[in-house]
Amino acid sequence: MVGMIHTVTSADGTPIAFERRGEGPALVVVAGAGNDRHGDEPLVAELTAEFSVVTYDRRGRGDSGDTAPYSAEREIEDLAAVVAALGEPVIVHGISSGGALALLAAAAGVPMERLSVFEPPYRGETEEVPEGYADEMRELVAADRWDDAVALFTMSAVGTPAEAVAAAKATPMWAELRSFAPTLVYDAFVMRDSKVPGELASIATPVLVVNSNGSTDWLKAAALAAAKTVPGARQVELDGEFHSVAPERLVPELSAFYRDPR
């Protein structure tokens, strides 16, 4: 099921496309790297049974525009514009680096009734994205070296072994990621130095941080670190695969949190 496409103008004049499906409280989904508003369709389909789900194309993706120069602050303004366009209280769910973006938006004061995030990919003291990752990604994208940009992302940001990356190049997944290569640098700047940002300690919105028990240790540690930084945040680990939990397991947990009167 596809909803009607709407467009809102962000603070810097960039058009941001979004669509809304389902009935119930408004729930905005923020996609992660390598995805547009269609990328989390199984989850969205499950959520529409209880919520009016809003998905949007982050800048540079799908039907949204893009305006130079890029900064994470502009993406916070984009989410704020979508929230304002709805004209009602909203819940937000952010996925991976989209979760990191949503947390920054909450810290910046974007109004949200509740916020859930799935595995924001922060790194700890012993697990770090290589120094200069964002600058290298920007150089690769500027040179139209999209395959190299995707390889850098999958190895350095995701932690995929080099041999698995080589095998992935012949798959449909690689072609899809390649189409998003110009925006991979955007997610690199959203993640900054890959550490949990200190300003998350100012968040007053109720927050739930979710991770999969099938993910790597550093992603599990990231969920715990984020939950410890946000005052009063809850953290839950669910049965799942690497960086993924099936919607039928995830949605009941999200729904219970969204409807909790506390």
Tokens 């968040």 -> residue:
203
What is the model's pLDDT at position 84?
98
Tell me: cis bond preceding 69? Omega within 30 of 0 counts: yes
Q: Which helix (H) or strand (E) holds 78?
A: helix 72-86
Residues 16 and 74 in one domain: yes
- Domain encompassing residue 176: 133-189
Residues 105 and 220 in one domain: yes
Residues 50 and 88 in one domain: yes
Last residue of a domain, one of 174, 189, 204: 189
Query: Number of folded domains in the chain?
Result: 2
Tokens 């350095």 -> residue:
156
Q: Where are the alpha helices (DSSP H) in 87-190?
A: 97-107, 133-142, 146-152, 162-168, 172-179, 181-190
Report the C-alpha gap between 46 and 178 in whole angstroms. 28
Residues 201 and 82 in one domain: yes
CATH number at residue 57: 3.40.50.1820
Last residue of a domain, one of 151, 172, 189: 189
Neighbouring C-alpha atoms within 13 Å toward the C-beta of 187: 33
Residues 16 and 66 in one domain: yes
Residues 154 and 76 in one domain: no
Residues 47 and 115 in one domain: yes
Report the C-alpha gap between 87 and 93 in whole angstroms. 18
Residues 153 and 202 in one domain: no
CA distances from 8 to 13, 36, 44, 58, 69 (A): 9, 16, 21, 12, 19
Residues 148 and 248 in one domain: no
Residues 58 and 166 in one domain: no
What is the model's pLDDT at position 125?
56
Last residue of a domain, one of 165, 189, 213: 189
Residues 146 and 216 in one domain: no
- List the one residue out of 88, 115, 113, 114 whose CA is nearest residue 102: 115
pLDDT tens over the chain, length 262 residues: 567 899 999 999 999 999 999 999 999 999 999 999 999 999 999 999 999 999 999 999 999 999 999 999 999 999 999 999 999 999 999 999 999 999 999 999 999 999 999 999 998 655 667 778 888 999 999 999 999 999 998 888 877 778 888 888 888 888 888 999 999 999 999 998 889 999 999 999 999 999 999 998 989 999 999 999 999 999 999 999 989 999 999 999 999 999 987 6
Rounded to two decimals, the pTM is 0.94
Residues 97 and 207 in one domain: yes
Q: Which helix (H) or strand (E) holds 69?
A: none
The one-letter code for the residue type at 249 is: R
CA distances from 20 to 27, 61, 204, 214 (A): 9, 17, 26, 31
